[in-house]
């Protein structure tokens, strides 16, 4: 009985769809295409390596392509932002102050064509850098790939969100969340966020980590 309960709760997943699935459905096949591009075709997405910039430009290009084909009922904003800042934190019982400069985020805001700039919004967050010595398929290429497919689905299905949805693809997550910190401290939309979904290390087996 315990095994049956476990199977129903944790092992009964939806059937994945191929890349030729209907545009108004979420396709795991299309997610895998993005993931292969980020993980296989682009080597090294760590801070300071050329692969990180290549990944950022791939993400931006995908988002701009979606924005160019969006219907008139949408308002789409795609931005490439450079963040700098500093903060203090406790690390291994010691107070550490970190200063950082010139880290890149890619941001997309999807809203209706009548939405206001300061309207309360939902933030969906994932990072495109990867840990040192790892291709970062689950941490966090799969997050980025899923967010790209989700943003495509929103626009191509014709569903207009009742509140703006902000997709934040942040860099330097592996270095104490620098990209996220920079967004929250400096971006004009940070004060509008009313709800926040962070996708982290998804696709590594078992339940995904969603905060």
DSSP-derived secondary structure letter, 2: H
Closest by Cα among 69, 137, 151, 49 to 108:
151
Question: And the tokens for 175?
Answer: 């270095």
Residue 119 bears catalytic tag: no
Closest by Cα among 136, 132, 127 to 182:
127
Active-site choice (28, 173, 174, 200)? 173
User: What is the spatial distance between Cα 151 and Cα 109, in angstroms, rounded to a whole number?
Assistant: 10
User: What is the spatial distance between Cα 73 and Cα 78, in angstroms, rounded to a whole number?
Assistant: 16
Closest by Cα among 104, 149, 89, 158 to 124:
149
Residue 183 burial by Cβ neighbours in a 10 Å radius (0-12, 13-18, 19+):
buried
Closest by Cα among 97, 111, 70, 58 to 176:
97
Return the active site residues.
173
């Amino acid at each position: 009985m315990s095994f049956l309960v476990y199977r129903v709760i944790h092992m009964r997943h939806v059937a994945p769809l191929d890349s030729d699935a209907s545009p108004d459905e979420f396709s795991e096949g299309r997610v895998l295409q993005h993931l292969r591009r980020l993980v296989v075709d682009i080597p090294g997405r760590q801070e300071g390596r050329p692969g990180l910039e290549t990944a950022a430009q791939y993400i931006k290009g995908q988002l701009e392509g979606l924005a160019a084909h969006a219907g008139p009922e949408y308002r789409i904003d795609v931005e490439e932002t450079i963040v700098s800042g500093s903060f203090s934190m406790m690390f291994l019982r010691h107070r550490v102050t970190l200063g950082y400069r010139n880290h890149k985020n890619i941001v997309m805001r999807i809203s209706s064509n009548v939405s206001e700039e300061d309207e309360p919004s939902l933030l969906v967050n994932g990072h495109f850098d990867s840990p040192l010595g790892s291709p970062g398929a689950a941490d966090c290429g799969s997050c980025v790939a899923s967010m790209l497919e989700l943003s495509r689905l929103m626009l191509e299905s014709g569903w207009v969100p009742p509140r703006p949805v902000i997709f934040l693809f942040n860099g330097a997550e592996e270095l104490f969340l620098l990209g996220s910190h920079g967004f929250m401290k400096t971006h004009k939309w940070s004060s509008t966020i009313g709800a926040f979904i962070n996708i982290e290390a998804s696709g590594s087996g078992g339940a995904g980590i969603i905060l």
